[in-house]
Chain A
Amino acid sequence: MRSLLLPEFTISRSDSCDRCRACEHQCSFGVHTYDASQDMMISDNYRCAGCQRCAVFCPKGAIEIRPTPSFYRPNASWSRERIEDIKRQAETGGVILTGCGSDKPFRIYWDHILLNASQVTNPSIDPLREPMELRTFLGSKPESLSLSDMEAGTDPVLTLETPMLFSAMSYGAISYNAFQALAIAASRSGTFFNTGEGGMPAEMRSQFKEHTIVQVASGRFGIDAEYLNSGAAVEIKIGQGAKPGIGGHLPGEKVSQHVAATRMIPEGTDAISPAPHHDIYSIEDLEMLISAIKEVTNYEKPVIVKVAAVHNISAIASGIVRAGADIIAIDGMRGGTGAAPKAIRDNVGIPIELAVSSVDRRLRDEGIRERCSIIAGGGIRCSADVVKAIALGADAVYIGTAALIAMGCTLCQRCYTGRCSWGICTQDPGLMRRLNVEEAAQRLVNLLSAWSHEIKEMLGGMGINAIESLRGNRDQLRGIGLHEWELDVLGIKGAGE
């Protein structure tokens, strides 16, 4: 069937093009070809994903890629996206897939929250001269401590040198090189990366053991007792911000020999993660899986339960804490994905800002906040977002999309095709080689170090010298341009109040 869609992008090439064919080599979607008869490069706009790989790698800077200027008759109800989605579905009869976090203009609350700074009445602190403490401990904390029971010890905790961890991204969804870069960066930065549900390649286990969070999801891929004991913590994934309530299908073509061995499934078959864990239908069942995991890891590792931010998240979180989770990870609706139905990604869930605040307050109200740490993820874009998340009640944050961007991702949203031209979200050996592990790891380390410096500056400005003192410290936040109900959910005052 002939496609009736317009191209998404228009490619223009200036006269400085000397037909070196770098663009043809760089494009993984087959946009550029060389026409020998005319001695010129030609481009197929229809294939372009807008990833900008060719533009960055053109030695002459001759290529420019823009959203295509052609449009349908303007119509407030029927935007171009609505029209084209219908056309695409009429042509295929399929569910529309997409990658990355939602690009829809939901209110980004971070941008409506302002931070405080000390002026006269209490001094600000200069982080260049004074020690600033970003070290964070995640896990269940005792209600009280006395000198007599100091020897009894406490529950296992994770120690982070900076309150940021890399979110779960599985080997299979991302390339081996990207996976390794995250592991290396986490260990150099004194934090953790998360295996996602694709298992942990055996050859990486001993080197990165102290900086790995291993994940257990509904597909139970690559899971055995050895895997569960090969990290510092175990995360049970119930939900993901980009696709709450649904499972995932890693398509057979991404299940290469090594991916298959790591996931412990046959090569080339779909890796299907069902929507629910089929042994978890209640909080009591969740308690059972948490306990089974604590048993198999000999009570030596904290257990994280990751859920998507949805309506009633605070009641859900309360149940999770009571089920025995040591850490709860909440993933907001702007969280990324390698593949999700667009209808789900753009319509299900709530923003992390609202979720983390309401969960923190609910757990405090119920007197169980110390039993569980909170990791907020899904939509953390900069160091200020980290500071605001912690002031709203998080203990630490997960960063996923930001880490991908640090490695070169341009959010072209074609992760699900497996053709990532930046070598991040692909299993194609040729594409994967484009990502230099050492360089990608360095970019990630630099990002964490830069954000850590900025966090220290912001803390110092507030007159705070330890990240512990910022947690749930909503006094340092003021809302701007927000409704009363929004201020209420966030638990903050309006600017000027």
Chain B
Amino acid sequence: MDELQMEIPCIRTFNESMIEIDASHMETRELNNLLREIMLCGYEKVVLRNVCGQRYIGTRLYSPQRRVMTIEIYGTPGNDLGAFLFGHRILVHGNAQDGVGNTMESGEIVINGRAGDVTGMSMRGGRIFVKGDVSYRAALHMKEHGLKKPVIVVGGTSQDFLGEYMAGGIVILLGLYRAHTARFIGSGMHGGAIYIRGEVGEEQVDSSVLISRPDESDMEILGDCISDFIERFPDLSLDMDYVLEGDWTKLSPRSSRPYGKLYA
């Protein structure tokens, strides 16, 4: 393990593998500089206290050696949390703002609260678990290739334009807290699948989307993802069977070529 400059005053405690930081009064770039240094020193876990609006946490942590670590955040991280995330695990005790997991490649983000607009935008791998709701246009242009299949599981519901231009991956809304009121779900969707528990009217869903009941293979996917969700939020004391037995709707694209006939 390389030596980290231990005279940095914001470092509260540290041991062989874990380090704890007080992020109050730290600027975005300063905090991310420090996180990068911590990663390059070989720490496996960092705990950030008093985070308040610092952006791009986790973004600077790409290394050609593909080092990964766990970042536990107390407070409210700013926009683009885990943007371009490359294999790390981020755990937030609180709410997140816009752009969580923007164009993320791999890893996992767990939000013990709600997440803002464009959660999981253009995400192409890894998983995001949100205990509460997500805001507008979550899973926008999410995509997949081969074994890389991103997953977003949301405990609550979403605002309008969920899964817009979606090209791959899986989105699950558990609808645990209130009815789904989002409109324009899946506009321009041409890949992937959205599973929604609870009532969704046809008028809430874009015409490019096929509405169906999940079949057995879908329920298997749901079972796997939901058991991981339950494991991440033990305080919800959710019963797996209770969640799975709900009224489920599957949304999938009518065509992988929605604009094939647009041109002369």
Contact = CB atoms under 8 A, between A and B. Distances in A.
Contact of A291 (B56, B124, B261, B263): B56
A279 B121 contact: yes
Nearest to B140: A278
Interface string B230-264: 00000000000000000000000000111111111
A296 B83 contact: yes
Contact of A270 (B62, B137, B259): B259
B114 to A, nearest CB: 18
A278 B256 contact: no
Interface string B28-65: 10001000100000000000000000011001101010
A270 B102 contact: no
Nearest to A274: B165
A204 interface: no
Interface stretch (A216-224, A350-358, A372-380, A427-435): A216-224
Contact of B190 (A88, A89, A270, A291): A270
A260 interface: yes
Nearest to A96: B264
Interface stretch (A141-149, A225-233, A437-445): A225-233
A224 to B, nearest CB: 4
Interface in A67-87: none
Interface stretch (B69-77, B142-150, B210-218): B142-150
Contact of A265 (B60, B80, B105, B168): B168
A92 B260 CA distance: 13
Contacts of B188: 272, 274
B145 A295 contact: no
B84 A266 contact: no
A55 B32 CA distance: 61
B122 interface: yes
B79 A272 contact: no
Contacts of A408: none
A450 interface: no
B86 A269 contact: no
B141 interface: yes
A220 B122 contact: yes
B84 A228 contact: yes
A161 B192 CA distance: 46
A95 B164 CA distance: 23
A209 B156 CA distance: 44
A278 B118 contact: yes
A264 B86 contact: no
B26 to A, nearest CB: 15
B263 A266 contact: no
Given A94-B262, A226-B86, A272 B55 contact: no
Interface residues of A, number: 41
B18 to A, nearest CB: 24
B217 to A, nearest CB: 18
A428 B190 CA distance: 24
A292 B264 contact: no
A272 B165 contact: yes
Nearest to A278: B140
Contacts of B262: 94-95, 249
A270 B102 CA distance: 21
A251 B257 contact: yes
A440 to B, nearest CB: 29
Contacts of B191: 265-266, 269
Interface residues of B, number: 47
B167 interface: yes
Nearest to A85: B264
B135 interface: no
A263 B145 CA distance: 9
B157 interface: no
A296 B258 CA distance: 33
Given A95-B262, A223-B122, A272-B259, A266 B145 contact: yes
Interface in B117-159: 118, 121-122, 124, 137, 140-141, 143-146, 148
A97 B263 contact: yes
Nearest to A341: B263
Given A224-B84, A252-B256, A296-B59, A265 B261 contact: no
A88 B121 contact: no
B249 to A, nearest CB: 23
B79 A288 contact: yes
Contacts of B86: 224-226
A229 B66 CA distance: 13
B95 interface: no
B99 interface: yes
B167 A272 contact: yes
Given A266-B168, A296-B60, A252 B260 contact: yes
Contacts of A261: 145-146
A38 interface: no
Contacts of B260: 251-252, 270
Interface in B92-127: 98-99, 102-103, 105, 118, 121-122, 124
A241 to B, nearest CB: 21
A279 B140 CA distance: 10
A334 to B, nearest CB: 22
A337 B32 CA distance: 39
A298 interface: yes
A181 to B, nearest CB: 26
A97, A223, A296: which has the most chain B beta carbons within 10 Å? Answer: A296
Nearest to B144: A266
Contacts of B121: 220, 278-279
B131 to A, nearest CB: 23
A268 interface: yes
Given A266-B167, A274-B141, 6 more contacts: A220-B143, A225-B86, A226-B86, A265-B143, A270-B260, A298-B62
17 contacts: A89-B264, A95-B263, A97-B264, A229-B62, A252-B257, A260-B145, A264-B145, A266-B145, A270-B256, A270-B257, A278-B118, A278-B165, A279-B99, A288-B80, A291-B28, A295-B56, A298-B62
> Top 6 closest A-B pairs, CB basis?
A225-B62, A94-B264, A220-B122, A224-B105, A269-B256, A295-B59
Interface of A: 88-89, 91-97, 219-221, 223-226, 228-229, 249, 251-252, 260-261, 263-266, 268-270, 272, 274, 278-279, 288, 291-292, 295-296, 298, 416
